[in-house]
Amino acid sequence: MKRPWSRPLGLAATLLLVARLAVAGTAASGHETLSKPHASAFRGPDAPVSPIGKEAGFTATPTNIPSQPVTGYRLPPDKYRRAVAYSRARYRLYFASVAWELLILLVLVQRRVGVRLRDLAERVSQRRFLQAAVVTPLLLTIIGVLELPADAYGHWLALNYQQSVQGWASWLWDWSKGGLLALLLAVFLAWMLYGIVRRSPRRWWFYFWLAVIPVIVFLMFIQPLVLEPLFFRFEPLERSNPALVAEIGKVVRRAGMEIPPSRMFEMKASEKTRELNAYVTGLGASKRVVVWDTTIARMTLPQVLLVFGHEMGHYVLGHLWKGMLFAVGGLFLAFYLAYRAVNWVLARWGAGMRGASDWASLPLLLWILCFLSFVASPVFNGYRRYLEHQADVYSLEVTHGVVPNNQQVDAQTFQILGEVDLSDPSPSRFIEFWLYSHPSISERIDFALHYDPWSKGGKPQFVR
């Protein structure tokens, strides 16, 4: 349940778009989630849903039990104003951050910073890997430091609107860890890229694309095992909430699937945030469903089951693989366009760059890829909205007959998510088109209340 939207790039994502696709799940990133427009949420039945207390073995203490049936996304006047103000501030920050990043990279190209870094690297060593280890960290550190004010403002907004409880020291430490991971990845990628460019000036974009695919797969595999634990604590859900695991088992059996308890985890999100979320992460042996402890604490058992049903939809329908393949296809086009654009710029304005294989061209390449990432955002987000809608459908189908009045429970769950996370009650069509990776809360509640193929003589799409 992450934000419906996020910046297209960050320090990790800046280098060659690869980190955006492969590391976008560490400190401040999105996964295949259930919630807002880059992620979203839920709320419950015609009669109030009774919370499941500790006497039943379920440790949640829900605080958002509606007194009336949910008929649409509604917020009290004060919270409505706060949700609108917070969302609009985040939208402005998004576009300002992209513009600022493009401006930074343009100035670095015009001021020939890449040329200076190349000259420094060549004085240090004639070995290409050592040169990569000089140019890449220095360049990305400059970019990261200049972007730090925008990142810090984003955290200030989260604190000011009570979305985060993470102190500044902890936030800066996470920011530093994310940056260090990005630098380590970037050195390897830059060394590999420029080695390929030197050997194949005309086909480097294709060979580099081929080389990047296993890197992405590897990073997605180790993400839940190595990367995510650097930022949050995780505990097997069977240990923290065995009663919840038992109830989840009913939903899993309803789907005719088998998701072992060893693949279910609780994330201690409450140590840093008040937001609600759940997501699917990993590949193969590392694939798992993760539910945030904030979600368990704020929702009733039926509502949590709807949340899990959504995440199981991602799990069962193979959305991680599909999303990765879609992104890899996008990289193919991005690298080709970058190849054409770099050659076009160098032919008309070299600015001290010896060619595409010169380290000095890295700021130019990053500018091109940053721009391509920005303009491609609506395409990628549109595909993600399609996958999220499928998961919403799956959740309603797999809980049908298991959770009483599951349509209203689903609507209640989204209502809770909207209230807690201050989701925008009425985003513009442009904002949804450009930024939202999930359908809006209003759309999801409306769909939950009206999707009922069983009473209309139709057939469910996924669970029959």
Q: Which residues are annotated as catalytic?
A: 311
Question: Alpha helix locations (H) across 43-127?
Answer: 77-110, 113-124
Two tokens, residue 423: 């989701």
DSSP-derived 3-state class of residue 306 = helix
Residue type, 113: V
* Residue 71 backbone dihedrals phi, psi, to 5 degrees: -115, -5
Contact 194, 128 (CB under 8 A): yes
Per this entry, what is the length of the chain? 464
Which residues share a beta bridge with 36?
39
Q: Which of 42, 62, 63, 68 is nearest to 244 (CA)?
A: 62
Q: How far apart are CA 150 and CA 358, in angstroms?
A: 30
R_g over Cα of the chain: 23
Contact 371, 102 (CB under 8 A): yes
**Start-to-end CA span in the chain (Å):** 26
Residue entry with tokens 């909430």: 241
Q: Which of 266, 307, 268, 290 is nearest to 415 (CA)?
A: 307
Residue entry with tokens 């809360």: 441
Beta strands 278-281 and 288-292, pairing class: antiparallel
DSSP-derived 3-state class of residue 326 = helix
Beta strands 264-267 and 288-292, pairing class: parallel
Q: What sign does the CA torsion over 9, 15, 17, 22 have?
A: negative
Angle between helices 441-450 and 406-421 (to 10 degrees): 170
Residue type, 400: H
